[in-house]
Each structure stands twice: as structure tokens, then as C-alpha cells.
A and B are shown apart, each in its own frame.
Chain A
Amino acid sequence: MMDFLTPVTWADALAVKADRPEAVPVAGGTDVMVELNFHRRRPAALLDLTRVPELAAWGRDGDVLRVGAGVSYTRLIEELGGLLPGLAAASRTVGSPQIRNRGTLGGNLGSASPAGDGHPPLLAAGAVVELASVRGTREVPVADFFTGPKRSVLAPDELIAAVLVAPADGPEQFAKIGTRNAMVIAVSSFALALHPGRRSVGTGIGSAAPTPRRAPEAEEFAAAHLPWDGPGPLDPDLARRFGELVSAAAAPIDDVRGTAAYRRHSLSVLARRTLTWAWEELCE
């Protein structure tokens, strides 16, 4: 037998998770239900989060946006496309309309796949994950959240409450390699955020390391060499070097979706292209 736990408030959900830390949280079911359908997993309990209204809300919290873990990709696109264009662009590449209607940002983080489409834009934007339990709430930068393939710092009694992220203050781009435009797990992906006000650059690499990760050297290089003072055409050598540094930050493997060499190459191309697009957007 498996227990099916259905809290209807956030406080209930945390109390249930404290009482039953082995319970597997489920929201859109786009990962968990696949495991159940294929008998890969038979948890002692499922913790249904779809009836917790707090998780489905988003709003401004001072200078940042607080996006509830239960907000679907469809809502990220439709409601937050203007404020978080990088995350919305990545969300458009997730699955199909049916999957985007169900899948949630919190579920993407909880699954902690190295290929999760939402992760690179959150890394590029410097987002923070809000984790909660009956013991209290803690905030973990997305860059520190993932600890390995499908592993994170989430404790057994904790749930993902929300993501805290500043609205874009410059161009954001996302690009992903796959065998078709829909229903594909990334072979590699890359997200970029430009912050012209403070002359800095954010990056996020997907599907090319044990966890999603930033490319700090590439960020520093671009921040130091982009022509912030007199925006004009981007020096192709600068874009190429940026691509090389992003590629060097990855630690890919060969698997069924692609080789390590292809992942490195494609990342350098994605990084060069997204920097070019973002810079053109800035100059418009």
C-alpha cells in the first residue's frame, strides 16, 4: 500500500513532510508519475502539492519576484514572460503544451536533473531557492542547490517553497540543442543574462556537467571586455572567446543523447550566439 497525502495549506504540507519525510512530493507528475507508471519506484507515500494554493502564487517581494514552486511552465510563459524573459524562453522549450500545463518550476528543481530546462536561466539570473520545513525557512542560491545528478541540498523534511529572482534588468537569452524543437531533453543548453546597469554577465550551463552550473570565468571575461561605454557591434573574437570559456567550464559525459565532445562544441556555439543576440538586443 501507498499513502496518498493531500495537504490543503502550506502549513499542513510542512507538518505532513516533517511527519513523513519519506513521502515523495508530487505536483505536475511529469517526472514522478513516469516512475510510478513504469514501476521504477513505489514510494511509501506520495505528498500531493496540487491543492496547496500558496505554492501556485507569485508576486513582488521588495526588489525581487517570489515565484511559488507550483507555478507551471505555461504560467511562467504567459504571466512572467516580460519580467523573466530567460526563464520564459527556457519554459517554451519544455515538453509540449500538455507538459507545460502541468510541470512546475519547483518540480524541475526537485528532480534536479542536470538537463532541467529551468535551471540555466535561474543560474544566469542569480536566483535563490527558498526551502522550508517546520524547523524554518532557508534561502539557497541556485548555484549551491544542486549536489549531483538528481541530487540537491533539500533535506528529507523540507519542501521547495519558491524561487526568489530579480526581474531582468537587461537582455536574457536561452538556447538548447535537441533532436527536435518539442518533447526533447536537452543535449546541451545555455542561458545568458546581461546586467548593463552594473556591467555584469550571468551564465548557466545545462546538460553538460553532473549538475547545472555557471561559467564564472566566461562571466568575468565578458563583463570586463564588453564595450559597455559605446554599445556597437560585438567583436566576433570576443564572442568566440566567450564561447570557448563557457565550453571550458563544462564537464560533459558521453551518453545516449550525445557525446562529450559534441556537448563542448555545441556549448561554445550556443554561448557565442546567445551573447551576440543579447548584445544586439541591448543595442536596439
Chain B
Amino acid sequence: MTCTVNGVPRTADDVWEGESLLYVLRERLGLPGSKNACEQGECGSCTVYLDGTAVCSCLVAAGQAVGREVVTVEGLSGGPDAEPGPVQRAFLAAGAVQCGFCTPGLIVAVDDLLSRNPHPTDPQIREALAGNLCRCTGYEKIMEAVRLAAGGQA
């Protein structure tokens, strides 16, 4: 299958079209940023952009992503060796990362929120992140990170 990932056309071989986009990203394209936790759209750890829309990549069939534009958490900074993006910096500054497993999905979800609503209220942040679970329960620091990113202070 062929699709654009983080601006680069990518081709994966031996793809079963019913496997998830998440599996393709992690296991076939070597992009392990998107995390595999629940595989049923409950946890948000696998959140990516598909044609500009934030989705759970575990619920997108590989065949549905053919020819589409995918942006993963890796695409939100300049690359593996580049500086972190603004939402990523805010998470670091606020100490909003504990075990880190939920962080990539949250970074994409926050990026999506701030692109639509640059100055969200706390209830709007909570609503936007309702589909991203942090099992360390570090939500207060995550809220702080979003406020930092929205204020351009990170």
C-alpha cells in the first residue's frame, strides 16, 4: 500500500488491507510513535491525522488509508533529531509526561485542539481530550501543558 506519511510518499509491502493503519505505521513503516494500547478506539494513544482529521489509527483499515495523507506524532516536530514542536515543549516544561505511553496521542490531540481553538477554556480542553486516557492519571499536569502551549509560553 502507498500513502503519504508526514509529507513523504511511503510504500509498505505485504499489507493485509484489513489490518489497522496503526499496525502499518508501527510494524511496516518503522514509526513507533503512535502507541498501541486498546485497539478499540477507547484510549486515544494511536491518534494521528488522516487527511487533516484527528482519528484513532487503530480503527482505520489499511486499505482505507491508501492514497491518503497521514501525519503522526513524528511529523509534529522537524524529525527525530530536530527540536520538539511547541506542544511537545509544553509537555516537557509542565512535566506532563509520566510513563509516556499516552503522550504521543495526547500531543496529536492537543495539536488538533489548538489548531481549531487557539485559546481553549478548561472545559473545552477536557472535552477535546476526553478520548485520551492517561493511566498514570497525570491529567492536572497535562491540563497545565495545554494551557502553556495555548499561551505560547513553552
Contacts and interface: CB of A to CB of B under 8 A. Distances in A.
Interface of A: 2, 4, 6, 26, 28-30, 33-34, 36-38, 46, 48, 50, 95-99, 101-102, 181-183
Interface stretch (B12-20, B71-79, B94-102, B135-143): B12-20
A37 B39 contact: yes
B131 A2 contact: no
B54 A48 contact: no
Per CB-CB distance, the 3 closest pairs between chain A and chain B, nearest first, are A96-B131, A182-B130, A4-B17
Contacts of A96: 41, 44, 130-132
B112 interface: yes
Contact of A99 (B18, B64, B131): B131
Given A6-B66, A182-B131, 6 more contacts: A29-B60, A30-B41, A30-B59, A37-B58, A101-B55, A102-B60
A182 B54 CA distance: 17
B45 to A, nearest CB: 11
Given A34-B39, A37-B39, A183-B42, A97 B112 contact: yes
Contacts of B39: 34, 37-38
A33 B20 contact: yes
B103 interface: no
Contacts of B61: 4, 26, 29, 33, 36, 46, 48
A2 B47 contact: no
B11 interface: no
B146 interface: no
A50 B64 contact: yes
Contact of B47 (A4, A29, A98): A98
Name, among B44, B61, B66, B112, the residue most crowded by chain A CB atoms within 10 Å (CB to CB).
B61
A181 B130 contact: yes
B75 to A, nearest CB: 17
Contacts of A183: 42, 130-131
Contacts of B44: 96, 98
B2 interface: no
Contacts of B53: 101-102
A241 to B, nearest CB: 35
A99 B17 CA distance: 21
A2 B17 contact: yes
A46 to B, nearest CB: 6
Contacts of B128: 97
Interface string B116-129: 00000000000110
Contacts of B64: 26, 29, 48, 50
Interface string B24-66: 0000000000000001111010010000011110111101101
B59 A33 contact: yes
A43 to B, nearest CB: 8
B109 interface: yes
B112 A4 contact: no
Given A50-B64, A102-B56, A34 B17 contact: no
Nearest to A92: B127
Contacts of A30: 41, 59
B41 A101 contact: no
Contacts of A97: 54, 109, 112, 127-128, 130-131
Contacts of A29: 59-61, 64
24 contacts: A2-B18, A4-B63, A6-B66, A26-B61, A28-B59, A30-B41, A33-B20, A33-B60, A34-B39, A37-B20, A37-B58, A50-B64, A97-B54, A97-B127, A97-B128, A98-B41, A98-B54, A98-B131, A101-B53, A102-B53, A102-B59, A182-B127, A183-B130, A183-B131
Contacts of A28: 59
